[in-house]
Amino acid sequence: MFELGDLVTMKKSHACGQNRFEVIRLGADIKICCMGCGHIIMMPRRDFSKRLKKIATKHPDVKIEQESHYVTLDQLQQPKL
């Protein structure tokens, strides 16, 4: 099935046009993050299972440098003291 960190393809695309999402929370509700715009969506597990088309990439195989949504450490702003 699907696990935390997997990249999944949904049957319908998001409003931004992207249909790839990252699973960021598992439980009774599933939280996914759009890989196009970064919008976070939370839905019941039953609805998620119905709307899931396929698991695009399992979490160990995700290459962070190829995904534009991920932020690298040098892009993060350091807190001002």
Per residue in 5-15, pLDDT (tens digit) is: 888 999 999 88
Q: Burial, 28: exposed, middle or buried (Cβ in 10 Å; 0-12, 13-18, 19+)? A: exposed
Tens digit of each residue's pLDDT (9 = 90 or more) over 43-79: 999 999 999 999 887 767 777 666 666 655 565 566 6
Q: What distance in Å separates the CA atoms of residue 27 and residue 47, rounded to the nearest whole number? A: 13
- Predicted structure pTM score: 0.72
Are the C-beta atoms of 24 and 33 separated by less than 8 Å? yes
| pLDDT, position 73 | 57
pLDDT of residue 16: 85
Residue 25 clears pLDDT 80, i.e. is over it = yes
